[in-house]
């Protein structure tokens, strides 16, 4: 049955695929070279701007958490239907994978995340979140709008594409590992490279930032339940104090970075959770602590994880307590690594559009992003898209209830998406151009 569905999907794609592109690759290269500088001007047209803003505001008013993006996904699919863009749904629950172009190699992907955060919006404006306790406080609503904007431009030039552009609308970036789920579901099968962007309040509009190699850290979370023997605080000799054990554990954990890590190898271990006891004069039976750890290399990350478990269990034992440590595998992300060749490609394309002086080196950050799963599997490039607005006051962090998206940035994101993808296809032609007509990839 699954095989028959696959055959039907392939037949459907070829039945509805736009008229085949010209057989002259050099002609299409010339066309795309002429088109790319116009992407930004096209995206700045009021009708396109207003359309992207309208999409973003609809999503913003109705935020959905990871793997719950049903209405967001429905809105995206409706827009893709209107544009005549074929797609696969569902992928990883609510995810969507769209296709523009020939349906044949090379394949290059563009990604936008869709999920919101579990927090109350405190910005008072016309399109404030209508869902209590949920907010798009990290710009994912803007990411979706800009990728749809790019899709609109790309679909207009689909007959000039020398390959296929894959649109990835991903669920559950905020701690849900949606990228890993989409990867496991085959969303990037046969894809040669992938690009994504993230809006940033650090840089003004017209400025983008990225770097080759590691950009964001590998991240994970741990929790430990330390168990002793409770009793009256006036009789500590009859107890095994888990609070004392937890306090010693926390101090020892801080030594992992300060005493064991190479000072030139950035690492973080932070305890942000300490729960235990409910009365001033009672020693509890157990205490729960939790925190996060981060590193910029796989080796350091694995070693840090091993030592965290070892320190917690053995330090608790020294205090006559027992400890059970668990790691949140769902929220464990690898290092986000930018491919060197794609970074050079990004610098060239963004430099032509914005001026090379506006393409700056991004700083290393200990934050994590599940795009790392994609860039670990295939060559990837993640960049920050500046949207700082001095008139809106001091910029708020990406997880602030006062977070504001500067919608003037939308043309830049849409145009860069479209330019990065089209130029990648024209500069990386399919290795085997003599493939038979029916040899398009299985995913289509």
Which positions make up the binding site?
138, 140, 174, 198, 399
Rounded distance, CA 162 to CA 101, Å?
A: 7
The residue among 214, 147, 141, 206 whose CA lies nearest residue 369 is 214
Cα dihedral 126, 131, 134, 136 in deg (nearest 10):
-40
Please enumerate, by residue number, every residue annotated as part of a binding site for Mn(2+): 138, 140, 174, 198, 399
**Helix ranges, 46-137 (H):** 46-61, 70-83
CA distance linking residue 35 with residue 415, whole number of Å: 11
Contact of 396 with 201, CB cutoff 8 Å: yes
CB atoms < 10 A from the CB of 235, how many?
Answer: 9
Structure-token pair, residue 132: 């209590």
Other CB atoms within a 10 A radius of the CB of residue 340 amount to: 12
Distances (CA, A) of 137 to 112, 117, 159, 256, 346: 15, 6, 37, 33, 27
Q: Alpha-carbon distance 211 to 142, whole Å? A: 22
- Alpha helix ranges (H) inside 139-190: 140-156, 178-184
Q: Which of 335, 175, 343, 198 is nearest to 266 (CA)?
A: 335
């Amino acid at each position: 049955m699954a095989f028959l569905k696959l055959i039907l999907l392939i037949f459907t794609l070829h039945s509805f695929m736009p008229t085949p592109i010209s057989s002259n690759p050099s002609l299409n290269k010339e066309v795309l070279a002429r088109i790319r500088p116009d992407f930004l001007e096209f995206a700045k047209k009021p009708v396109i701007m207003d359309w992207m803003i309208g999409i973003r505001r609809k999503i913003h008013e109705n935020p959905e958490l990871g793997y719950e993006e049903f209405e967001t996904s429905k809105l995206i699919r409706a827009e893709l239907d209107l544009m005549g863009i074929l797609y696969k749904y569902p992928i990883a629950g609510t995810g969507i994978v769209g296709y523009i172009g020939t349906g044949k190699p090379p394949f290059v992907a563009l990604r936008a995340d869709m999920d919101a955060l579990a927090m109350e919006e405190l910005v008072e404006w016309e399109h404030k979140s209508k869902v209590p306790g949920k907010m798009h406080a990290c710009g994912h609503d803007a990411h979706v709008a800009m990728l749809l904007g790019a899709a609109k431009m790309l679909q207009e030039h689909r007959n000039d594409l020398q390959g296929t552009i894959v649109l990835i609308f991903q669920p559950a970036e905020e701690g849900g590992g949606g990228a890993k789920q989409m990867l496991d579901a085959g969303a990037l099968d046969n894809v040669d490279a992938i690009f994504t962007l993230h809006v940033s309040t650090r840089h003004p509009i017209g400025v983008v930032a990225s770097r080759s190699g590691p950009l964001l850290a590998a991240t994970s979370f741990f929790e430990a339940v330390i168990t002793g023997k409770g009793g009256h605080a006036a009789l500590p000799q009859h107890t095994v104090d888990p609070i004392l054990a937890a306090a010693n554990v926390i101090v020892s954990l801080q030594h992992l970075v300060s005493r064991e890590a190479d000072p030139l190898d950035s690492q973080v271990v932070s305890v942000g959770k300490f729960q235990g006891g409910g009365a001033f004069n009672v020693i509890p039976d157990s205490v729960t602590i939790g925190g996060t750890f981060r590193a910029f290399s796989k080796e350091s990350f694995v070693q840090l994880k091993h030592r965290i478990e070892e320190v917690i269990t053995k330090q608790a034992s020294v205090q006559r307590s027992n400890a059970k440590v668990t790691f949140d595998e769902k929220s464990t992300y690898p290092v986000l690594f930018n491919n060197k060749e794609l970074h050079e490609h990004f610098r060239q394309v963004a430099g032509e559009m914005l001026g090379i002086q506006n393409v700056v080196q991004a700083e290393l950050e200990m934050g994590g992003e599940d795009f790392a799963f994609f860039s670990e599997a295939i060559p990837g490039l993640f960049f920050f898209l500046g949207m700082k607005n001095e008139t809106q006051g001091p910029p708020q962090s990406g997880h602030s209830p006062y977070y504001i998206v500067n919608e003037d940035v939308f043309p830049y994101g849409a145009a860069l998406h479209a330019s990065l993808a089209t130029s990648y296809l024209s500069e990386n032609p399919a290795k085997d151009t003599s493939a038979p007509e029916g040899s398009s990839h299985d995913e289509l």
